[in-house]
Structure 1
Amino acid sequence: MPSPLFRRSIWAIVGIAVLVAVAVAAVPFIASTQIVKDRIAFEMSAWSGFRVSINGTPDIEIWPVFRATLTDVTLTDWEDEQGSPVIEAERVEIELSAFSALSGNVDFSDAHFLRPTVRLRRLADGGLEMPRSRGGRLTRAIELARATVSASPAEPDLGKMPSDEFGSVEFVDGRVVAVSDEGEDELLTDLTGKASLPALNKAGSLTATAIWRGEQAALELSSPRPLVLFAGGAAPIVASLKSAPVEASFDGTASLAGDVHVDGQVKFAATSLRRVLEWSRPGVMPTSPVGSISIASGVSGDLDRLKLDNAKVTIDGNPGMGILDLALNGPLPSLSGTLAFDSLDLMTFASAFAPMASPNGNAAEIDTSFADRINLDLRLSTSKATAGSIALSEVAATAQVKGGLVAFDISDAEAFGGNVQAGIRFDRKPGGSQAELRLLASDIDGGAFGTAAGMSRIVPIGRGTVSVILKGPGLSWSTLLQNANGSIAATFGAGAIIGLDLQAFLKRSSERGFFSLDEVSGGTLPVDGVELKATVANGVARIDKAEARTATNRIWLTGIVPYVGRGLALSGAIEAKDATAATPPAIPPAAFFVGGSWSAPFISPLVAPVLAAPSGTTSD
């Protein structure tokens, strides 16, 4: 027979089971009578500080989770007379505490918003204003935390921080829209994620994915002291953004209220800078061939100025180091600094801000609107560089964008065995954009210069100097060259001219019929020097002086070379170097006309040379 103690234990267990059964049975009754929508709305309003409205009767579930499902939920500013919701959701699921429900209270820790819409106000200057609550537990907690931070900004007393339990908020398939007098426009779509904060004085995190301007992006934020951040204090924060165009991250400390300040490590990587700029829409030139870029750097500063120290910058696989300074307190953001590379593609670098499309036949309009969106002043150096097919070394260059001026200058570089200085600039003026091209190549190898410039005929071999200055309307590369004004000059010392067989030239001239320059291009003419001077006016180069000097003769040209049509209209002659010399020149004098085009010039003799008859023959 069971002992009295055993019987009492059995009855205790039975009693507890009955109480649990009664409590479970009572929950639906209590939930249906006391945990009504106005009570839930009150608690949601108490937390958020907004007026909360719920249409329909909540659907209460007991198993497996005690949950209330609400439909057509809206959060509205208490002072908004029109009652326009700042947040609305088709459905909200709230997980409740069953024991709190038995006492007639609402205690929930997790909320799930299905298809919510958040409305931001579009300001007159194009900025956005976040919804502001009129009180609420969150607002009061932040105000209390702000007072704690103000008392000791460097080391706030975390023990005095509010410790209310909060929980998590999930959202699925949401939207963020901007509202103005003209209506609404979508900023984010397909917004899905979760904000988690077990208690106000605990660590918190946010994960979210959304579609912004046609690209899906994923955001992650976490901090061990988010309430300190909201209160304006400094706290650790880790943030990352991932999308197809760009990936970025920050790991450090931040103060997000008042004078926002950050101090930590930042990373940025994009397979195509052009795609990033087009995605963010700052007005990058659509034809600009900008490639990949990545930055890893220490960052410190505030909303007025950010400094990137020991910045590791990689452009199209070319790594560099430097210091960058980003100023945000002016009418336009300003970026300045110095960067040093081991190697660099200068055309790719310059294309990030200047219209560097090839001038050969490209009639596309040059877009310099980038100058309206940023001020730029960068100094860069590189041991090796390329500019198209040209190889350079020991390069020092500058990039500037300011006040409508876009400029890229190579102040010093070694190329073609000599020194090179070059620049391109576009200056936006009331009458239209003006462009300028400059090149000064000193003590260079003429053959190497000609090869790089694509000149295959009549190229001087020797040491010399080349200067080119062209100015004109900067609407497009074609209009620039068609209407350019400036000068072209070149001087070379002793050497030779490739692509000219002088004996063959004289022989064909003596036959009086016109002939192609290709017919006499199979030789090399030794020269003592070559000099060229030309004035460019409205796209037409007028040859002021073009002279090659041999040991006994002088070969000269004069005339015009227009850019449009690429035609030639030149006259020239072969004369004795010293007309007073008693000894006849080894090469007889001749005069000729050069016509045709740049790619196919022809020669028409004007005064045919009289060649000496071969030995053993007589002339008529």
Structure 2
Amino acid sequence: MPSALVRRSIWGIGIAVLLAVLIALLLPAIASTRIVRDRIALEMSSWSGYRVSIGAPPEIEVWPTFQAILTDVRLSPWQSPSGPPVIAAERVEIELSALAALRGNVIFSSARFVSPTLYIQRAANGAYMPELPGGGRIAASIAEARAAIAGNPDEQGDLPSDPFGTVEVSGGRIALHQDGQVTDIVTGIAGKADWPALDRAGTLSAIGLWRGETVKIDLASENPLSLFAGGAAPLTANFAAAPATVSFTGSAKFAGNGYLDGEAKVSIPSIRRAAEWSGSHVSPVSPGGKVAFTSRIVADAARVKFENVALSLDENRGVGALNLEFEPRRPAMSGSLAFDGIDLGSLLSAFTPLTLAADGSAGEADAELSSLLNVDLRLSAERAVAGAIKLANVAATVQVKDGLSVFDVSDASAFGGNVQAGVRFDRKPDGPYAEMRLLASNIDGGALASAAGMTKLVPVGQGTVSVILKGPGASWKSILENADGSISASFGQGALAGLDLAGLLARVKKGGFFALDEVSKGNVPINGAEFKASVAKGVARIEKAEARATGHTLWLKGIVPYVGRGLALSGGVTPTVKGAEGGNAAFFVGGSWSAPFISPVIPSQPVE
């Protein structure tokens, strides 16, 4: 008995091995005879909803996995078969079920597209998308899910549960097909979509080259089918590239009353690099610092609310809340931000179309922001800088609308007093036009002069300065060359820095022209000083420049053009008490702003 049982077992094992060998040997033949007859193309078409064509009969491989290798695969819309395909791949490797193949069926478990191209077109609404299929199993499942969600939005358990599998891509690209021309958009795409069944969680991870930068995208959802069908579902999205990274974690709905609700993070190492990469125009002197942004986002089709905003501009951190409304003409951003410290120069160049480089060169006007986005922001900062000027307790507003950009500092502490300033830039039909104003009250004139880099003939003491300028132009330089307005200042008791009065009187008396530097080592005590000038077409006409010293009054009159920065002034020292030391002196001031010279005026002699 035992020996008979052993013999039967050996025969059973032998028969099983023989059957396995026969199946392995016959499977390619069976598959090639029963699958090649368009079953693979039919199944792919049934799933995708596109017309599928395969350039050559599939190659069947059994080991290590049972798979069909397809070449020259094209997925085209049924409604326009003669047009360009939606997807064209050099090679597609499909993993198949061996048992299903023996029954003459085709069941996919995974597909790998080698060197595929996804062709997109510009739709009527301006979006760039591939031509969508008119049907297919996926589209039908989405429609079924949409009906289920519409019937019971709160319960999404009865969704289609068809198996899907894994789709991989290597060496792919996305190309724009328009007017007979094909333009690459994204190249070098490698990625994987893993979605076991339509009612299960799914993930997508892909990497590619866009605008010269490697971009990585990761998406995950517990219910992708619900998202496709217009329902709500959890969503995690990450976009990473060297110029910018963006992430979102929360829930989303993309149809009907769609919304986003979750936490968002944005990191930009360089504003200038990110703007150039995105295709936005930036001035070469625009800010190039880094930005970090985190916020809770609550969004729908009409607006986006940014709650609990934490914003970092370089090392300046701010908190607040923002609101973005999608108005008919252009989006509108409003809200308030409070910073511990901020660079007002960066804000000026970010929200108004004028900026000034550190070397003094003028930046050209760029009003692209005002044509894309309306802005109404309230800003505050414990401390701020504007070039070399340091301010504290700053309150400012930024407004951008319909080509008009306005930046106002309504209140700030600086130079021991109070400062108010504003810039208004308007793109008018006949050209850009700018207005600038500054009012500094109860300030230390010496501190203001030091911040402005001025050391000669500077009033040191408490006073007030007012500047109002306006004019046409596309840059600071062109505006100042054509500006009209006024400049005035008044100071109380203090000193006139950068002048040796006794040396000046002696040098004038000696005769011959000389540089102001020769008599700039000293300070003249004064009881007060006044300055008034009108500006017309970029030329300042000094109407009054007077400093009242003990026993003397120093005065200047004349013109100072912005172009060329030359000087054409007459001046003098007039005694205010009889017998004042040095007496009366008159002179001419010429040269340039940076290197003025003085030439004494010799009084005419009476004819004997």
* TM-score, length of structure 1 as denominator length: 0.94
Q: Is the 8 A contact 2:285 2:355 kept in 1?
A: no
Q: 1:212 aligns with which of 185, 210, 213?
A: 210
Q: Look up the match of 1:36.
A: 36
Q: Is the 8 A contact 1:169 1:196 kept in 2?
A: yes
Q: Distance in 1 between matches of 2:326 and 2:191?
A: 31
Instruction: Provide the identity percentage.
Output: 52
Q: 2:177 aligns with which of 179, 196, 203?
A: 179
Q: Distance in 1 between matches of 2:69 and 2:141?
A: 28
Q: Distance in 2 between matches of 1:44 and 1:68?
A: 13
Q: Is the 8 A contact 1:473 1:483 kept in 2?
A: yes
Q: Distance in 1 between matches of 2:521 and 2:273?
A: 49
2:263 maps to amino acid: Q
Q: Distance in 2 between matches of 1:595 and 1:124?
A: 66
Closer/same/farther in 2, CA of residues 422 and 185 from structure 1, 3 Å limit = same
Q: Distance in 1 between matches of 2:2 and 2:113?
A: 56
Deviations 1:511-545 (A, max 9, x none): 12222211111111111100000001111100111
Compute the displacement of 1:137 (Å): 0.7
- SS of equivalent to 1:513: coil
Q: Look up the match of 1:336.
A: 334
Closer/same/farther in 2, CA of residues 93 and 360 from structure 1, 3 Å limit = closer
Q: Distance in 1 between matches of 2:601 and 2:570?
A: 9
Q: Look up the match of 2:598.
A: 603
Q: Look up the match of 2:145.
A: 145
Closer/same/farther in 2, CA of residues 39 and 231 from structure 1, 3 Å limit = same
- SS of equivalent to 1:377: strand
Compute the displacement of 1:503 (Å): 0.9
Q: Is the 8 A contact 1:553 1:587 kept in 2?
A: no
Listed as ranges, the matches of 1:283-362 within 5 Å are: 283-354=281-352, 355-358=354-357, 362=361
Q: Distance in 2 between matches of 1:287 and 1:574?
A: 44
Q: Which moved more, 1:479-488 or 1:600-609?
A: 600-609
Root mean square deviation of aligned Cα: 1.8
Note if 1:45 corresponds to 2:38: no
Q: 1:166 aligns with which of 160, 164, 167?
A: 164
Q: Look up the match of 1:520.
A: 519
Deviations 1:444-464 (A, max 9, x none): 000000000111101111000
Q: Which moved more, 1:9-18 or 1:594-603?
A: 9-18
Q: Is the 8 A contact 1:590 1:608 kept in 2?
A: no
Compute the displacement of 1:555 (Å): 1.7
Q: Distance in 1 between matches of 2:405 and 2:185?
A: 32
Q: Is the 8 A contact 1:249 1:267 kept in 2?
A: yes
Closer/same/farther in 2, CA of residues 44 and 125 from structure 1, 3 Å limit = closer
Deviations 1:356-403 (A, max 9, x none): 123865255332233222222221111011111111110111222211
Q: Look up the match of 1:615.
A: none
Q: Distance in 2 between matches of 1:358 and 1:399?
A: 21
Q: Distance in 2 between matches of 1:64 and 1:81?
A: 37
Q: Distance in 1 between matches of 2:288 and 2:125?
A: 30
Q: Distance in 1 between matches of 2:341 and 2:56?
A: 68
Note if 1:558 corresponds to 2:557: yes
Q: Look up the match of 1:613.
A: none
Q: Look up the match of 2:196.
A: 198
- SS of equivalent to 1:95: strand
Q: Distance in 1 between matches of 2:175 and 2:468?
A: 52
Q: Look up the match of 2:587.
A: 592
Compute the displacement of 1:16 (Å): 2.5
1:265 maps to amino acid: E
Q: Which moved more, 1:568-577 or 1:123-132?
A: 123-132
Q: Distance in 1 between matches of 2:125 and 2:211?
A: 20
Compute the displacement of 1:79 (Å): 0.9
- SS of equivalent to 1:12: helix
Q: Is the 8 A contact 1:290 1:352 kept in 2?
A: no
2:487 maps to amino acid: I
Q: Look up the match of 1:502.
A: 501
Q: Distance in 2 between matches of 1:67 and 1:365?
A: 62
Compute the displacement of 1:238 (Å): 0.6
Structure 1 unmatched ranges of 5 or more: 610-620
Closer/same/farther in 2, CA of residues 390 and 258 from structure 1, 3 Å limit = same
Q: Which moved more, 1:187-196 or 1:7-16?
A: 7-16
Q: Distance in 2 between matches of 1:289 and 1:417?
A: 29
Q: Distance in 2 between matches of 1:352 and 1:597?
A: 34
Q: Look up the match of 2:430.
A: 431
Closer/same/farther in 2, CA of residues 28 and 299 from structure 1, 3 Å limit = same
- SS of equivalent to 1:566: coil
1:233 maps to amino acid: G
Listed as ranges, the matches of 1:359-438 within 5 Å are: 362=361, 365-438=364-437
Q: Is the 8 A contact 2:266 2:292 kept in 1?
A: yes
2:41 maps to amino acid: A
Deviations 1:323-351 (A, max 9, x none): 11122343222222111111112212332
Compute the displacement of 1:565 (Å): 1.4
Q: Look up the match of 1:574.
A: 573
Q: Look up the match of 2:246.
A: 248
Q: Which moved more, 1:52-61 or 1:476-485?
A: 476-485
Q: Distance in 2 between matches of 1:209 and 1:74?
A: 23
Q: Look up the match of 1:111.
A: 111
1:89 maps to amino acid: A
Structure 2 unmatched ranges of 5 or more: none
Compute the displacement of 1:183 (Å): 2.3
Closer/same/farther in 2, CA of residues 87 and 255 from structure 1, 3 Å limit = same
Compute the displacement of 1:10 (Å): 3.2
Deviations 1:192-216 (A, max 9, x none): 1011100111110000011111111
Closer/same/farther in 2, CA of residues 124 and 152 from structure 1, 3 Å limit = closer
Q: Distance in 2 between matches of 1:257 and 1:601?
A: 71
Q: Is the 8 A contact 1:573 1:589 kept in 2?
A: yes
Q: Is the 8 A contact 2:393 2:413 kept in 1?
A: yes
Q: Is the 8 A contact 1:361 1:478 kept in 2?
A: no
Q: Distance in 2 between matches of 1:441 and 1:257?
A: 54
Closer/same/farther in 2, CA of residues 491 and 313 from structure 1, 3 Å limit = same
Closer/same/farther in 2, CA of residues 360 and 208 from structure 1, 3 Å limit = closer
Q: Look up the match of 1:471.
A: 470
Compute the displacement of 1:271 (Å): 0.4
Q: Distance in 2 between matches of 1:606 and 1:284?
A: 52
Deviations 1:230-258 (A, max 9, x none): 11111101110110100110000000223
- SS of equivalent to 2:288: coil
Listed as ranges, the matches of 1:79-118 within 5 Å are: 79-118=79-118
Closer/same/farther in 2, CA of residues 81 and 23 from structure 1, 3 Å limit = closer
- SS of equivalent to 2:149: helix
